């Protein structure tokens, strides 16, 4: 028999002899490992999901949003000010280098009515550049054109959910749609992007920004600029993201006549920054979830130690016999360590299967969109290594106790 | 083969010292079959434990095959037990979860490696080859002791130690065990030291050592 195989078989014999006791011990590890795997896969899933949502919005995009308004020392929430204008967007397009497109937009919630169906949806006033900045594709018809934007035509591109709700069974292209007090004509339907924590375009309706300003909101700044709610800037060269952020910031500061020392009345955020923030946050979340699960693994490990201590006492005579037959301390030590490692490794394997199954069940449940849990190989390796490690760690004390037994006393033990 | 010189063993019972062996001198030649007799508490089991390298003396020297083993570490003693000594116990001391064959194989595990062929052969020699896959609980006392003998002999050690090997058996089965032991001793020519308090059993041996109060009281050649 192979040298390394024999101790394993012996340990297996020991595990098998006490089926119920071994199963209960293994169960502790199973629960711990399953919890670690399931929770970490959720954490990973959420992270991947958010990142892919960001990816779908375009990773080379800088988003400029209005800052907090400060009135008589009271600071309002971010985005509460109406500081960004269409004119700002035009200035960025003209003056900042490495800018491929600038897409200012405004939005407002409106009741949409078609025949007997109605729906409250987000109406976004956009420029043609909005399509590229957000990686939008139409499944039918076309997107808003430069002509529509210049003229302020009453046309709309609708999200897939809006199409399904208002035009079930009918081709929406060319149909009329009542939006508040206005009628618009549908010229395109967007491809579905799935749910997203950033608000999905599936549930939105897009019209030319100029149309929005003419029909729904007419707000202007004190200097007469047309207020927009956000500006998306598409950068032509990924390497120049930071440069564009700096240039845009200084351009907007001078346009908004902010003196040195005064805080920005807008926020410039690159997707890169957002990605790194979210990676950090969700990484922390994953570790946190893992840590909670690790506590149950720890409890399982203490269970292993408990059983191994009982096992050592119960098998005192066996240890005495083995020592009389010539077993050295390290033989006995190895025997008990192998047994506890085998116990917890078995638990780890089963726990891996259970945790995997659980994460597959969770996969598809909708939390902030559909989570696709990810059981990555590093989680698997980590869980198995940790379960063996736990066996060795918590088997250490019992094994040492066993190996140090006096053979004469051990043989006399009843 | 075995030389004990002024061996003393003192146990500490709380603060009181208990002298179990007091200056034992003994010489055993290779191939001898010896019985140690004495009343309970005379120190005969302690002496067997010392000879069996399960314990070390408090003072004095013990030479096994001309090597002093009375000062060895526990690891070195284990090596000596593994290579040189086979034990037979009154209560058989088989591992209950293992089959007869696996118990015999256990006798070789720490002595360099398991050889199933030799284990089967050893069971054969004690007449138990048809019981190889039985657990100890499925065997009679006599059969269990035969398994234990096979376990002690399977690695062919120069020294066999038996602590009242027939103590738990009826006289008929005891006789059977003794005839197996005697026969195997004759074949293999190892040195055999056994403890007994039955004179009938002791008569199978060539020499009987009488021990009392931790000292050798006398010996008789048979």
**Which is more confidently placed, A21 or B99?**
B99
B81, B89, B114: residue with CB nearest A326: B81
Q: Which pLDDT value is given to residue A101?
A: 87
Summarize the confidence of residues B131-135 as an average pLDDT.
93
Question: According to the per-residue pLDDT averaged within each range, which of A117-126, A191-200, A279-288 is highest?
Answer: A117-126
pTM: 0.70
E-assigned strand segments in B90-204? 159-163, 191-195
CA closest to A411 among chain B residues:
B93
- The interaxial angle of helices A377-403 and A19-56, nearest 10 deg, is 150
Asked if residues A99 and A92 have their Cβ atoms less than 8 Å apart, the reply is: yes
Both structure tokens of B206: 């060539």
Tokens of A159: 């999200």
Cβ-defined contacts of A169-178 (< 8 Å, 24+): A171/A140, A172/A140, A173/A140, A173/A141, A175/A114, A176/A114, A177/A112, A177/A113, A177/A114, A177/A205, A178/A112, A178/A113, A178/A114
Contact criterion met (CB below 8 Å) for B158 and B189: no
Q: Establish, for the pair of chains A and B, how many residue pairs have beta carbons separated by less than 8 Å.
A: 63
Q: Mean per-residue pLDDT for B101-111? A: 92
Share of chain B above pLDDT 70, in %: 100
Residue B127 belongs to a domain with what CATH number? 3.40.50.300
Residues of A in contact with B98 (CB under 8 A): 13
Give chain B's domain count.
1
Assign A218 a pLDDT band (cuts: 50, 70, 90): low
Q: Determine if residue A185 is left, alpha or beta; phi over 0 gives left, psi from -120 to 50 gives alpha, anything else beta.
A: beta
Query: Which of A40-54, A279-293, A319-333 shows the lowest mean pLDDT across its residues?
Result: A40-54
Helix axes of A271-314 and A329-362: crossing angle, nearest 10 degrees: 140
Mean pLDDT of chain A: 84
Q: Of all helices (H) and strands (E), which one includes residue B27?
A: strand B16-28
CA distance B207 to B192: 11
**Out of A317, A326, A408, closest to residue B110 by CB:** A326
Q: Is B10 on the interface with A (CB under 8 A)?
A: no
Q: What is the mean pLDDT of residues A207-232?
A: 81
The answer to whether B25 contacts chain A (CB < 8 Å) is no
Q: Which domain holds residue B42?
A: 2-221
pLDDT the model gives residue A309:
92
Contacts with A, B 149-168, CB within 8 Å: 151
What was the pLDDT predicted at A2?
A: 56
Q: Write the ipTM.
A: 0.94
Task: Name the phi and psi angles at B128, rounded to 5.
Answer: -125, 20
Contacting residues for A91 by C-beta, under 8 A, at least 6 apart: A251, A255
Q: pLDDT, tens digit, for every residue of B14-50?
A: 889 889 999 999 999 999 999 999 998 899 999 999 9
Q: Supply the pLDDT for residue A71.
A: 53
Among A163-172, B120-129, B179-188, which is the least confidently predicted range? A163-172
Angstrom distance (rounded) from CA A223 to CA A209: 20
CB atoms within 10 A of CB A198: 14
The CA distance from B217 to B210, in Å, is 5
Helix (H) or strand (E) holding B77: helix B74-84
CA distance linking residue A36 with residue A38, whole number of Å: 6
Domain residues of chain A, as ranges? 5-53+276-412, 82-264
DSSP letter, residue A143? P
Residue A77 pLDDT exceeds 70: no
Residues in A lying within 8 Å of B, measured between beta carbons: 1, 6, 13-14, 17, 317-318, 320-331, 407-408, 411
Nearest CA in chain A to B83: A326
Q: Which residues of A touch B109 (CB under 8 A)?
A: 6, 325, 327
């Amino acid at each position: 028999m192979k040298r390394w195989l024999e101790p394993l078989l012996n340990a297996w014999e020991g595990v098998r002899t006490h089926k119920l006791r071994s199963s209960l011990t293994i169960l502790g590890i199973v629960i711990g490992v399953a919890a670690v795997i399931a929770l970490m896969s959720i954490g990973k899933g959420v992270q991947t999901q958010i990142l892919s949502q960001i990816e779908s919005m375009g990773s080379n995009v800088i988003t400029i949003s209005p800052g907090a308004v400060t009135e008589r020392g009271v600071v309002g929430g971010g985005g509460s000010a109406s500081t960004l204008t269409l004119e700002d967007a035009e200035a960025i397009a003209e003056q900042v280098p490495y800018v491929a497109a600038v897409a200012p937009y405004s939005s407002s919630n409106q009741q949409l009515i078609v025949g007997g169906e109605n729906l409250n949806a987000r109406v976004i006033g956009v420029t043609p550049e909005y399509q590229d900045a957000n990686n939008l594709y139409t499944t039918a018809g076309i997107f808003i054109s430069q002509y529509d934007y210049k003229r302020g035509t009453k046309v709309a591109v609708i999200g897939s959910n809006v199409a399904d709700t208002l035009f079930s069974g009918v081709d929406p292209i060319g149909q009329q749609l009542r939006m508040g007090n206005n009628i618009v004509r549908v010229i395109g339907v967007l491809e579905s992007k799935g749910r997203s924590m950033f608000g999905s375009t599936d549930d939105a309706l897009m019209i030319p920004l100029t149309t929005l300003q003419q029909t729904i909101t007419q707000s202007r700044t004190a200097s007469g600029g047309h207020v927009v709610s956000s500006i998306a800037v598409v950068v032509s060269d990924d390497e120049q993201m930071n440069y564009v952020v700096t240039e845009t910031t200084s351009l907007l500061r001078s346009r908004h006549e902010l003196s040195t020392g005064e805080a920005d009345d807008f926020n410039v955020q690159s997707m890169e920054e957002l990605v790194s923030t979210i990676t950090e946050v969700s990484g922390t979340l994953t570790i946190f979830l893992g840590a909670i699960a690790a506590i149950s693994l720890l409890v399982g490990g203490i269970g292993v130690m408990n059983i191994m201590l009982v096992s050592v006492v119960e098998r005192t005579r066996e240890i005495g016999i083995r020592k009389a037959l010539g077993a050295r301390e390290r033989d006995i030590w190895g025997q008990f360590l192998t047994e506890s490692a085998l116990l917890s490794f078995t638990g780890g394997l089963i726990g891996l299967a259970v945790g995997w199954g659980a994460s597959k069940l969770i996969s598809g449940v909708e939390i902030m969109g559909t989570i696709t849990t990810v059981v990555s190989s590093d989680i698997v390796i980590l869980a198995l290594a940790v379960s063996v490690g736990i066996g060795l760690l918590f088997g250490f004390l019992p094994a040492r106790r066993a190996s140090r037994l006096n053979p004469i006393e051990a043989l006399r033990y009843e | 083969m075995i030389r004990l010189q002024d061996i003393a063993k003192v146990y500490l019972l709380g603060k009181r010292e208990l002298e179990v062996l007091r200056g034992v001198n003994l010489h055993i030649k290779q191939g001898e079959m010896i019985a140690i007799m004495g009343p309970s508490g005379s120190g005969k089991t302690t002496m067997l434990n010392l000879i069996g390298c399960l314990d070390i003396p408090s003072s004095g020297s013990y030479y096994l095959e001309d090597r002093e083993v009375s000062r060895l570490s526990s690891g070195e003693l284990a090596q000596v037990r593994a290579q040189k000594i086979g034990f037979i116990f009154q209560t058989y001391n088989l591992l209950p979860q293992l089959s007869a064959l696996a118990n015999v194989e256990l006798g070789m595990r720490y002595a360099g490696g398991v050889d199933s062929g030799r284990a089967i052969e050893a069971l054969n020699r004690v007449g138990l080859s048809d019981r190889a896959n039985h657990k100890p609980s499925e065997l009679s006392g006599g059969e269990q002791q035969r398994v234990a003998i096979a376990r002690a002999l399977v690695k062919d050690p120069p020294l066999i130690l038996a602590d009242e090997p027939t103590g738990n058996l009826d006289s008929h089965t005891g006789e059977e065990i003794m005839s197996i032991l005697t026969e195997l001793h004759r074949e293999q020519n190892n040195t055999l030291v056994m403890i007994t308090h039955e004179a009938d059993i002791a008569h199978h041996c060539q020499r009987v050592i009488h021990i009392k109060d931790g000292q050798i009281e006398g010996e008789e050649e048979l």
